[in-house]
């Protein structure tokens, strides 16, 4: 089966986001951007399924500005076979992304689409579920284990109370949680090889999808800052503080 892996370019997770002074958003000028960590896990899972002989081809797709090419090259260097870049400048909401991905899925007919459970910038946690709805497919979100057996994929999900396993009819959507796997680093030869792997460029218009946002961002502000408090010198002092807080008798 073919596997489609949507990957998003986001502010590197090691960096602390800076809110722009004019309140229009987070400053992304001249800061390192990398593949969303959950999407690295998605790419890795697809590669492992290919190594097991379950998957035959891995197609990475990204929607974003032209620089999202770098993110796709990373996916190709890790082991994806080819890539599709849908160039779009400006805000792209999960609903519009899901519509584009549906159009790509209609064309590519994958057996699985593996997405990150959330992008660490907007933290929406929506795209995979929306895509599942638009395609009329089953969804296994927050996956920590994925097992394909014939026409069924068993997905173990990280839920609030613990773990849950569901059996989904293929084709299906999977979204990754952090413990699904540990993504590999691309080796230098593979990074070189990735440069010659096919990368198609498209636009939302090619798929007839309207990208107009439904949400207007009125303001982006810094959260209230917490002040550092005091340091106590001993356990005895800490005990006194806990008593003063009323949590210890």
Min CB(34)–other proteins separation in Å: 14
Of 149 and 213, which CB lies nearer to ligand FAD in the complex structure?
Answer: 213
Q: Which does 161 bind (CB under 5 to 8 A by kind): ligand FAD, other proteins, none?
A: other proteins
Q: Which of 2, 33, 55, 94 binds ligand FAD (CB under 6 A)?
A: 94
Number of CB atoms found within 10 A of residue 168's CB: 21
**Residue 33 interacts with other proteins (CB under 8 A)?**
no
Nearer to other proteins by C-beta: 108 or 121?
Answer: 121
Is the bond preceding 171 in cis, omega lying within 30 degrees of 0?
A: yes
What residues from 194 to 223 belong to the interface with other proteins (CB under 8 A)?
213-223
Residues binding ligand FAD: what is the number (CB under 6 A)? 34
185 binds ligand FAD (CB under 6 A): no
Closest CA to 169 of 155, 189, 187, 179: 155
Q: How far is the CB of 246 from ligand FAD (least distance, A)?
A: 26
Interface with other proteins, residue 90, by CB under 8 A? no
Whose Cβ is closer to other proteins: residue 38's or residue 55's? 38
From the number of C-beta atoms within 10 Å of its C-beta (0-12, 13-18, 19+), residue 166 rates as middle
* 133 binds ligand FAD, rule: CB under 6 A: no
Question: 43: helix, coil or strand?
Answer: helix
Q: Which of ligand FAD, other proteins, none does residue 97 bind to, with CB < 5 to 8 Å depending on kind?
A: ligand FAD
- Measured from the CB atom, the residue of 192 and 203 that comes closer to ligand FAD is 203
CA-wise closest residue to 97 among 121, 128, 68, 60: 128
Which of 1, 166, 202, 207: binder of other proteins (CB under 8 A)? 166
25-30 contacts, C-beta under 8 A, 24 or more apart:
25/217, 25/220, 26/121, 26/220
Angle between helices 37-51 and 68-78 in degrees, nearest 10: 30
Query: Considering the rule CB under 6 A, would residue 36 count as an interface residue with ligand FAD?
Result: yes
Task: Please identify which residue in 1, 120, 166, 191 interacts with ligand FAD, judged by CB under 6 A.
Answer: 120
Instruction: Give the separation between CA 29 and CA 178, rounded to whole angstroms.
Output: 28
d(CA 77, CA 119): 21
């Amino acid at each position: 089966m073919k596997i489609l892996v949507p990957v998003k370019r986001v502010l590197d997770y090691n960096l602390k986001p800076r809110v722009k002074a004019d309140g229009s958003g987070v400053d992304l000028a001249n800061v390192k951007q990398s593949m969303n960590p959950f999407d690295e896990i998605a790419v890795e899972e697809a590669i492992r399924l290919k190594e097991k002989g379950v998957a035959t081809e891995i197609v990475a797709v990204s929607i974003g500005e032209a620089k999202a090419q770098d993110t796709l090259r990373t996916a190709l260097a890790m082991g994806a076979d080819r890539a599709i870049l849908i160039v779009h400048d400006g805000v792209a909401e999960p609903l519009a992304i899901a519509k584009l991905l549906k159009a790509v899925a209609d064309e590519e007919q994958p057996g699985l689409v593996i997405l990150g459970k959330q992008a660490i910038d907007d933290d929406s946690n929506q795209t995979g579920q929306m895509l599942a709805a638009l395609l009329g497919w089953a969804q296994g979100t927050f996956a920590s284990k994925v097992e394909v057996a014939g026409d069924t994929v068993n997905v173990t999900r990280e839920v609030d109370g613990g773990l849950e396993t569901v059996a989904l009819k293929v084709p299906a959507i999977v979204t990754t949680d952090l413990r699904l796997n540990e993504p590999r680093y691309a080796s230098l030869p593979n990074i070189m090889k990735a440069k010659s792997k096919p990368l198609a460029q498209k636009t939302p218009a090619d798929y007839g999808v309207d990208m107009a946002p439904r949400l207007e961002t009125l303001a982006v502000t810094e959260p209230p800052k917490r002040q550092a408090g005091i340091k106590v010198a001993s356990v005895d002092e800490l005990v006194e503080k806990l008593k003063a807080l009323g949590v210890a008798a």
